[in-house]
Chain A
Amino acid sequence: MTTTTPIEEDGVTRRDFLYVAAGGLGAVGTAAAIWPFISQMNPSADVLALSSTEIDLEGIETGSEITAVWQGKPIFVRHRTEGEIEKADDVVVADLPDPEPDADRVIKPEWLIMVGICTHLGCVPLKEQGDYSGWFCPCHGSHYDTSGRIRKGPAPKNLVIPPYEFLDDTNIKIG
């Protein structure tokens, strides 16, 4: 019994084309089917709805501070005194471990808004403590100044300033 020779088309048989088409389409379908299983681990709609938080600054007196929550993280919202602002400016920026002028870290100088997570290993620093009149992290002894900048200790970077804007004089939106 003779075997039928496949019909040749540019060296690729028509039979091969069928197999390639079927296999290819099957692979495309499988990839498309996998996508929902990967996507479902991304933040869900309710979590995304909380990706920005509005904070009312009214009631935070000069020299006092609240801790708000944004995206599950602590946010220090401090109403700084004139003295604290002056102290923040009274530095040689180039000598700082993470050089950054205070003016770059605030929109209005009396409001300091920072992510309250130590840039060393993630503990929450304590306010109004430490050698620089700012924050002190008890975990491994990092000292931050009145602008939230690292001065002494193992933390490599200044406390992070989150993206925020003033909606009006007494309300900010973070994120």
Chain B
Amino acid sequence: MLKFVKLLSVAALVTFSFLGPVQAAGGGVELKSVSWKHGGLFGTYDRAAAQRGLQVYREVCAGCHGLGLVAFRTLADLGFSEEEIKAIAAESDFVDGPDGEGEMFDRPGKPFDKFPSPFPNENAARASNGGAYPPDLSLMTKARADGDNYMYSLLTGYEDAPADVELSDGMNYNAYFPGHAIAMPSPLNDDGVEYSDGTPATVDQMAKDVTVFLAWAAEPKLEQRKSIGLKVILFLLILAGLFYAVKRKIWSDLH
């Protein structure tokens, strides 16, 4: 039995120690590390931060980046009321139809709609952004290794290019973007947004808040997952203990 536990710990060790480096087959710059409230075994989303992050997204990012997998109604998770959600949804227009005459028409957004993309398609997006495509942000924190820290590092990582680096036209230097040349200029500026809860909107603060919001957008079920996980593992520990006792009891008559 001890051997079995040893085996499983070895398996866990091998798996954990190895798969991290196995997957990180690129990059190499060490990211800034933030102690996120939603990290760890018992983490939950910082709702105040997420609400501020939504504001940053809508006022700064939504001009170029879509969030097309997130429905307005899911904002209820972050503590928004039904009225607030209806109001947010109604600020965008959506094409609907055809009507009785066969025509398509515009209507204001409803809670069941998803956040709109600022561009009708990728070609339009590239044309408006010098050939670069601002990606949809719905899954961005899961689409990058150590995504939360990556996003925060990127947004706070704009610097003057070092003397020996030559940037092409239209590119900006970022310490954390792979290759260091990114088409997006620094999107955040101090006091670029006026937070309704009065929090000072420094670049650092906005970067953290929008990262929390986007982390939620990518993984809205995180809190249920960890909560159920705790119950399942505690249950299994008790069950394993009981089964072990039963096993010993049944095997005891063999010797």
Contact = CB atoms under 8 A, between A and B. Distances in A.
Of A22, A29, A46, A50, most B-chain CB atoms within 10 Å: A22
Interface string A20-33: 01100110010000
Contacts of B3: none
29 contacts: A15-B249, A18-B242, A18-B245, A18-B246, A18-B249, A19-B246, A21-B242, A22-B239, A22-B242, A22-B243, A22-B245, A22-B246, A25-B235, A25-B238, A25-B239, A25-B242, A26-B239, A26-B243, A29-B235, A29-B236, A29-B239, A45-B74, A46-B71, A46-B112, A49-B71, A49-B73, A49-B112, A50-B112, A54-B110
A87 to B, nearest CB: 25
Interface in B201-255: 235-236, 238-239, 242-243, 245-246, 249
Contacts of A46: 71, 112
Interface residues of A, number: 14
A54 B249 CA distance: 65
A68 to B, nearest CB: 11
Interface string A30-54: 0000000000000001100110001
A66 interface: yes
Contacts of B238: 25
Contacts of A49: 71, 73, 111-112
Interface of B: 71, 73-74, 100, 110-112, 235-236, 238-239, 242-243, 245-246, 249
Interface of A: 15, 18-19, 21-22, 25-26, 29, 45-46, 49-50, 54, 66
A21 B242 CA distance: 8
Contacts of B74: 45
A171 B235 CA distance: 52
A42 to B, nearest CB: 16
A50 B236 CA distance: 39
B100 A66 contact: yes
A18 B249 CA distance: 9
B2 to A, nearest CB: 21
Contacts of B249: 15, 18
Contacts of A50: 112
B229 to A, nearest CB: 13
Contacts of B111: 49
B106 to A, nearest CB: 13
Contacts of A25: 235, 238-239, 242
A50 B73 CA distance: 11
A54 B242 CA distance: 56
A84 to B, nearest CB: 20
B49 to A, nearest CB: 24
